[in-house]
């Protein structure tokens, strides 16, 4: 009996960390990589809120090492100097104001928490908030941390450690980054203090960077000491933060993602890898008929899903041929499939353009980040890609919101690369990745009427700027997707933005 109660309690706690606590009717988050807090607040009010986005993962908000010797790369933000909220994205007031303004617009904020380590050793030791460090002494006065707060004996993770040796993966340094000992009571207090400070400011949860490199037992203690979400920001009382742990597990390593699913959600890296392969023709779309755990993916409730992230879009972290904004046609299709399919908790990537994989965000000569500009057609300039503002992508966020909690039904395929399916009686999508046209009468599960395809265009008054689809009394419609078209999918749904 006691054991059953303990088990149920443990299960309840784990589920508690797997709810993103989006505002009603919202389903999707976007990573606004390297954006400034003031720009994010404006984006919540002018675009993300009105367009139905659920949340934003922001870049690490705590003070990091300034690395001019590598021309201020994006990865300097993964080298903490303290837990003060001051970075190139903004200071504490700006962070707090962003969280308040985004929550007011119905958009939640998730913090990228770097709690495995501090910085590496460099010849410059200035933090973005003015803190210094004595690397040789493992001394970070901005926290403060000293020698006793790190793992000993000193060691650095080697490639083959991942195959054999969990203790080394967790207690040695990840590429020279000084490895904190989360088993220490003092270290836990510093980490929990930082996380609770931003929870109290109104954030809804965390990405746990490098979770594979920390002991699950230590993480459990840290998570269980976190405050409930702040009800003054619209969260229900007793709500636990949403936590998704970065564990790259493509198989074959000593540490598995399954060691972390009892704690909270986990990033599912196989998801983007498999969809990238399929939409580039390396696997037939027909096989997606049983997409989800049968493909070796995590259970639905455990999975934070995405096509690309800030690492693998530039060849850091997990390997594989990942689709990005640079390969737009299959990328948009893979994103559309992710957002149309009920499996997983989806996250979009919003990038700055790059050729050099180390390069930081658009910046001026002093290293200040340059804000994105917004063009008259709604796209971004000044070096920002803003995938979340691409019509084919933000329209699918709306599609997912409309589909809600419905399941998948009326799957159709042609045995190769043409597929279609419904989400309850709410929404319909078709894909054509064959090199011949799709021209077929298909069941859409929608009420009779005329609908605008939200991929090739949008609704404008009483007409469509792109294709229109006529659904008959039997729910069927003729679906046409030619190979020469800009996009390989067509999507229609109930609700104002598609139905004429
Ligand atoms: C260099 C040498 C080391 C030497 C060290 C001396 O390579 O041998 O010991 O100097 O100080 C950078 C540099 C790296 C440098 C290191 C230490 O690339 O050359 O070491 O800093 O200063 C990002 C980047 C890393 C970067 C790091 C810190 O991807 O290249 O390292 O930021 O700036 C695994 C993990 C997974 C991880 C992934 C990248 O399991 O957890 O690798 N992913 C997350 C983040 C990622 C981030 C980190 C973890 C670290 O998503 O963006 O790494 O916080 O798969
Ligand atoms: Ca560690």
Distance of CA 181 to the CA centre of its chain: 27
Q: Which region, left, alpha or beta, applies to residue 279 given φ > 0 means left and ψ of -120 to 50 means alpha?
A: alpha
The Cα–Cα gap between 225 and 219 comes to: 10
Intervals of the chain under pLDDT 70: 1-14, 319
Order of strands, edge to edge, in the sheet holding 489-493? 408-413, 418-423, 427-432, 489-493
Dihedral class, residue 283 (left if φ above 0, else alpha if ψ from -120 to 50, else beta): beta
Task: Please tell me whether residues 189 and 114 are part of one structural domain.
Answer: yes
Q: What distances in angstroms separate CA 93 from CA 2, 98, 105, 283, one per listed residue?
A: 47, 9, 18, 49
Total-model pTM: 0.97
Answer whether residue 306 is part of any domain: no
Q: Are 483 and 370 in a shared domain?
A: no
Whole-angstrom CA distances from 50 to 38, 105, 340, 387 are 18, 8, 20, 17
- Per residue in 447-485, pLDDT (tens digit) is 999 999 999 999 999 999 999 999 999 999 999 999 999
Paired sense of beta strands 427-432 and 476-481, if any:
unpaired
Residue 309 lies in a domain: no
363 and 479 inside one domain: no
Same domain, 419 and 364: no
What does the pLDDT read at residue 319? 67
Where does residue 12 rank: exposed (0-12), middle (13-18), buried (19+ CB within 10 A)?
Answer: exposed
Q: Is residue 283 part of a domain?
A: no
Q: What is the phi/psi pair of residue 469, to 5°? A: -130, 130
Q: Is 335 part of a structural domain of the chain? A: no
Q: Is residue 440 one of the residues assigned to a domain?
A: yes
Same domain, 413 and 369: no
Verify that 263 and 412 share a domain, yes or no. no
- Closest residue by Cα to atom 22, ligand 1, is 120
Does the CB atom of residue 175 touch ligand 1 within 6 A?
yes
**360 and 465 fall within a common domain:** no
Q: Is 6 in the pocket of ligand 1 (CB under 6 A)?
A: no
Cα 222 to ligand 2 centre (Å): 14
Shortest CA distance to 204 belongs to which of 405, 101, 61, 57? 57
- The CATH number that applies at residue 186 is 3.20.20.80
Instruction: Count structural domains, the chain.
Output: 2
Whether residue 330 lies inside any domain: the answer is no
Residue 133 sits in the same domain as residue 29: yes
- Which ligand is closest in space to the CA of residue 168? 2
Site to probe by mutation for ligand 1, drawn from 73, 175, 309 as the one with most ligand atoms within 8 Å of Cβ, is 175
Residues 93 and 179 in one domain: yes
- Ligand 1 geometric centre to CA of 14 (Å): 29
Q: Are residues 447 and 378 in the same domain?
A: no
User: Is the CB of residue 340 below 6 angstroms from any atom belonging to ligand 1?
Assistant: no
User: Within a domain: residue 320?
Assistant: no
Residue 150 lies in a domain: yes
Ligand 1 centroid vs 175 CA: distance in angstroms? 5
Does the CB atom of residue 69 touch ligand 1 within 6 A?
no
Q: What is the CATH number of the domain that holds 421?
A: 2.60.40.1180
pLDDT of residue 8: 52
Structure-token match 């709604």, residue found:
378
Q: Are residues 136 and 181 in the same domain?
A: yes
Which ligand is in closest contact with the Cα of 67? 1
CA 169–ligand 2 middle distance (angstroms): 7
**Catalytic residue set:** 209, 246
Ligand 1 atom nearest the C-alpha of 169 is: 40
Rounded to an integer, what distance in angstroms lies between the CA atom of residue 158 and that of residue 462? 62
CA–centroid distance, residue 209 to ligand 1 (Å): 11
Q: Is 43 in the pocket of ligand 1 (CB under 6 A)?
A: no
- Same domain (yes/no): 489, 363: no
Place of tokens 């606590």: 21
Owning domain of residue 474: 408-493
């Amino acid at each position: 009996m006691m054991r059953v109660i303990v088990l149920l309690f443990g299960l309840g706690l784990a589920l508690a960390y797997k709810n993103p606590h989006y505002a009603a009717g919202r389903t999707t988050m976007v990573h606004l990589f390297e954006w400034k807090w003031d720009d994010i607040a404006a984006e919540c009010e002018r675009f993300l809120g009105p367009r139905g986005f659920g949340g934003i993962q922001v870049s690490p908000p705590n003070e990091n090492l300034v690395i001019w010797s590598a021309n201020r790369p994006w990865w300097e933000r993964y080298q903490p100097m303290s837990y003060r909220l001051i970075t190139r994205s903004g200071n504490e007031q700006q962070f707090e104001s962003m969280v308040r303004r985004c929550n007011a617009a119905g958009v939640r904020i998730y913090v990228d928490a770097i709690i495995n380590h501090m910085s590496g050793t460099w010849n410059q030791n200035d933090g973005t908030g003015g803190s210094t460090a004595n690397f040789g002494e493992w001394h970070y006065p901005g926290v403060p941390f000293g020698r006793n707060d790190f793992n000993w004996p000193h060691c650095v993770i080697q490639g083959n450690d991942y195959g054999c040796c969990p203790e080394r993966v967790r207690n040695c340094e990840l590429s020279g980054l000084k490895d904190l000992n989360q088993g220490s009571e003092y270290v836990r207090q510093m980490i929990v203090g930082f996380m609770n400070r931003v929870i109290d400011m109104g954030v809804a949860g965390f990405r746990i960077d490098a979770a594979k490199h920390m002991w699950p037992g230590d993480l459990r203690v840290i998570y269980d000491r976190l405050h409930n979400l702040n009800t003054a920001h619209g969260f229900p009382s007793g709500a636990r933060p949403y936590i998704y742990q970065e564990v790259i597990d493509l198989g074959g390593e000593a540490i598995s993602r399954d060691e972390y699913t009892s704690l909270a959600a986990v990033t599912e890296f196989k998801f983007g890898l498999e969809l990238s392969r399929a939409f580039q023709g390396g696997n037939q779309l027909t096989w997606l008929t049983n997409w989800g755990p049968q493909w070796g993916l995590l259970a639905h409730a455990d999975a934070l899903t995405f096509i690309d992230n800030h690492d693998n879009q530039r060849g850091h972290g997990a390997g594989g041929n990942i689709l990005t904004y640079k390969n737009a046609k299959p990328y948009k299709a893979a994103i559309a499939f992710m957002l149309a399919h009920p499996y997983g908790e989806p996250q979009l990537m919003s990038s700055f353009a790059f050729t050099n994989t180390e390069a930081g965000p658009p910046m001026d000569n002093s290293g200040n980040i340059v804000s994105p500009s917004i063009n008259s057609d709604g796209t971004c300039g000044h070096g920002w890609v803003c995938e979340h503002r691409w019509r084919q992508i933000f329209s699918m966020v709306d599609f997912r919101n409309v589909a809600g909690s419905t399941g998948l039904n009326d799957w159709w395929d042609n045995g190769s690369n043409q597929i279609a399916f419904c989400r309850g009686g709410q929404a319909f999508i078709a894909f054509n990745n064959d090199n011949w046209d799709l021209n077929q009468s298909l069941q859409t599960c929608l009420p009779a009427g005329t609908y605008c395809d939200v991929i090739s265009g949008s609704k404008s008054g009483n007409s469509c700027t792109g294709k229109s689809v006529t659904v008959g009394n039997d729910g069927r419609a003729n679906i046409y997707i030619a190979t020469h078209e800009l996009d390989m999918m067509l999507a229609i749904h109930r609700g104002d933005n598609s139905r004429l």
